[in-house]
Structure 1
Amino acid sequence: MIIGYTSPLHAERSSPVPRLSQAAAFAGLAVTFTVVMLGATLPTPMYALYQQELRFSPITQTVIFSVYAVGVLAALVLTGRWSDLVGRRPMLLAGLGFALVSSVVFLLAGPVWVLLLGRLLSGLSAGIFAGTATAAVVEAAPESWRTRASAVATAANIGGLGLGPLLAGIFVQYLPAPLHLSFAVHAVAVALCVLIVWSAPETVTPTPGVRLRPQPVRVPAAVRPVFVSAATAGFAGFAVTGLFAAISPRLVSEIVGNPNHAVAGLVAFLLLGSSAASQLVANRFDAGVMLRLGCVGLVVGMALVGLSVATGSMALLATGAVVAGVGQGPTLSSGLKTVNARVDPDQRAEVTSSYFVVLYVALSLPVIGLGAASQSWGLRTSGIAFCAGVAVLAVVSLVALTLLARRSARKEAAATPR
Structure 2
Amino acid sequence: MTSAEPTCPTVAIAPVQRTLSRGVVSRPHKLSRLRLRPAAAFAGTALAFVAVALAVGAPSPLFVLYQQEWGFPSWLLTVAFAIYAVTLLVTLLIAGSLSDHIGRRPVLAGALALQVVAMLMFLAATDIGWIIAARSVQGVATGAAMSTFTASLVELAPERRKKLGATIGSTAPVGGLALGALFAGLSVQFTAQPTLIVFATLALLFAAGLLVVLASPETVARRAGAVRSLVPRLRIPVEARREFGSAVPLFIATWMLAGLFIGLSPSILHGVFRLDSGLLNGAIVAAPPAVGAVAGLLLTRAPARTTTVWGMVAVISGVAIAGAGIAGALLPLLFIGAVVAGAGFGAGFSAMLRILAPLAPNDQRAELFAGIFLVSYLAYGVPALVAGELIAVVGLLPTALGYTVAIAVASAVALTVQARLLARTRRTTAASWAGSVTPRR
Which residue number in structure 2 is paired with residue 94 of structure 1? Answer: 110
| 2:266 corresponds to 1:249 | yes
Which residue number in structure 2 is paired with residue 314 of structure 1? Answer: 331
Displacement of 1:349: 6.2
Gaps of 5+ in 2: 1-23
Determine helix, strand or coil for the equivalent of 1:201.
coil
- Asked whether the equivalents of residues 236 and 362 of structure 1 are also in contact (C-alpha less than 8 Å), the reply is yes
Q: How far apart, CA to CA, are the structure 1 residues paired with 2:75 and 2:386?
A: 8
Match of 1:270 among 287, 307, 317: 287
After TM superposition, list the pairs within 5 Å mapping 1:209-224 onto structure 2. Answer: 211-214=227-230, 216-218=233-235
Displacement of 1:167: 0.4
Q: How far apart, CA to CA, are the structure 2 residues paired with 1:135 and 1:173?
A: 37
* TM-superposition CA deviations, 1:311-367 (whole Å, max 9, x none): 222211211111111111244233345567888999876565444322111101111
Q: How far apart, CA to CA, are the structure 1 residues paired with 2:112 and 2:103?
A: 15
Q: How far apart, CA to CA, are the structure 1 residues paired with 2:324 and 2:181?
A: 23
| 2:314 corresponds to 1:297 | yes
Which residue number in structure 2 is paired with residue 334 of structure 1? Answer: 351
Gaps of 5+ in 1: 1-7
- Asked whether the equivalents of residues 148 and 366 of structure 2 are also in contact (C-alpha less than 8 Å), the reply is no
Which residue number in structure 2 is paired with residue 365 of structure 1? Answer: 382
Which residue number in structure 2 is paired with residue 185 of structure 1? Answer: 201
Match of 1:122 among 99, 117, 138: 138
Determine helix, strand or coil for the equivalent of 2:194.
coil
Q: How far apart, CA to CA, are the structure 2 residues paired with 1:308 and 1:54?
A: 31
* TM-superposition CA deviations, 1:131-168 (whole Å, max 9, x none): 22233334444568666344344443322121111101
Using a 3 Å threshold, how does the CA distance of structure 1 residues 192 and 382 change in structure 2: closer, same or farther?
same
Using a 3 Å threshold, how does the CA distance of structure 1 residues 179 and 372 change in structure 2: closer, same or farther?
same
* TM-superposition CA deviations, 1:157-182 (whole Å, max 9, x none): 32212111110111122112233331
Q: How far apart, CA to CA, are the structure 1 residues paired with 2:84 and 2:97?
A: 20
Which residue number in structure 2 is paired with residue 356 of structure 1? Answer: 373
Match of 1:202 among 208, 218, 223: 218
Using a 3 Å threshold, how does the CA distance of structure 1 residues 351 and 142 change in structure 2: closer, same or farther?
closer
- Asked whether the equivalents of residues 320 and 404 of structure 2 are also in contact (C-alpha less than 8 Å), the reply is yes
Determine helix, strand or coil for the equivalent of 1:102.
helix
Q: How far apart, CA to CA, are the structure 2 residues paired with 1:117 and 1:395?
A: 37
| 2:124 corresponds to 1:108 | yes
- Asked whether the equivalents of residues 230 and 331 of structure 1 are also in contact (C-alpha less than 8 Å), the reply is no
Give the TM-score normalised by structure 2: 0.82
Q: How far apart, CA to CA, are the structure 1 residues paired with 2:180 and 2:306?
A: 31
Using a 3 Å threshold, how does the CA distance of structure 1 residues 16 and 298 change in structure 2: closer, same or farther?
closer
Q: Which amino acid aligns with 1:102?
A: A
Give the TM-score normalised by structure 1: 0.86
Determine helix, strand or coil for the equivalent of 2:34.
coil
Q: Which amino acid aligns with 1:324?
A: A
- Asked whether the equivalents of residues 91 and 143 of structure 2 are also in contact (C-alpha less than 8 Å), the reply is yes
Q: Which amino acid aligns with 1:367?
A: A
Which residue number in structure 2 is paired with residue 323 of structure 1? Answer: 340
Determine helix, strand or coil for the equivalent of 1:397.
helix
Question: RMSD over aligned Cα, in angstroms?
Answer: 3.3
Which residue number in structure 1 is paired with residue 149 of structure 2? Answer: 133
| 2:312 corresponds to 1:287 | no
Match of 2:256 among 221, 236, 239: 239
Q: Which of 149-158 and 353-362 deviates more?
A: 149-158
- Asked whether the equivalents of residues 231 and 335 of structure 1 are also in contact (C-alpha less than 8 Å), the reply is no
Identical aligned residues as a percent: 32
Determine helix, strand or coil for the equivalent of 2:234.
coil
Using a 3 Å threshold, how does the CA distance of structure 1 residues 345 and 87 change in structure 2: closer, same or farther?
closer
- Asked whether the equivalents of residues 292 and 398 of structure 1 are also in contact (C-alpha less than 8 Å), the reply is yes
* TM-superposition CA deviations, 1:360-406 (whole Å, max 9, x none): 11101111122222223322222112112211221233234334544
Displacement of 1:408: 5.8
Using a 3 Å threshold, how does the CA distance of structure 1 residues 398 and 193 change in structure 2: closer, same or farther?
closer
* TM-superposition CA deviations, 1:214-234 (whole Å, max 9, x none): 374146999888655531222
- Asked whether the equivalents of residues 167 and 350 of structure 2 are also in contact (C-alpha less than 8 Å), the reply is no
Which residue number in structure 2 is paired with residue 40 of structure 1? Answer: 56
Which residue number in structure 2 is paired with residue 3 of structure 1? Answer: none
Q: Which of 238-247 and 369-378 deviates more?
A: 369-378
Displacement of 1:40: 1.5
Match of 2:396 among 379, 399, 402: 379
Determine helix, strand or coil for the equivalent of 2:31.
coil
Q: Which of 298-307 and 58-67 deviates more?
A: 58-67
- Asked whether the equivalents of residues 46 and 169 of structure 2 are also in contact (C-alpha less than 8 Å), the reply is yes
- Asked whether the equivalents of residues 301 and 323 of structure 1 are also in contact (C-alpha less than 8 Å), the reply is yes
Displacement of 1:409: 5.2
After TM superposition, list the pairs within 5 Å mapping 1:55-66 onto structure 2. Answer: 55-66=71-82
Determine helix, strand or coil for the equivalent of 1:179.
helix
Determine helix, strand or coil for the equivalent of 1:20.
coil
Q: How far apart, CA to CA, are the structure 1 residues paired with 2:304 and 2:148?
A: 23
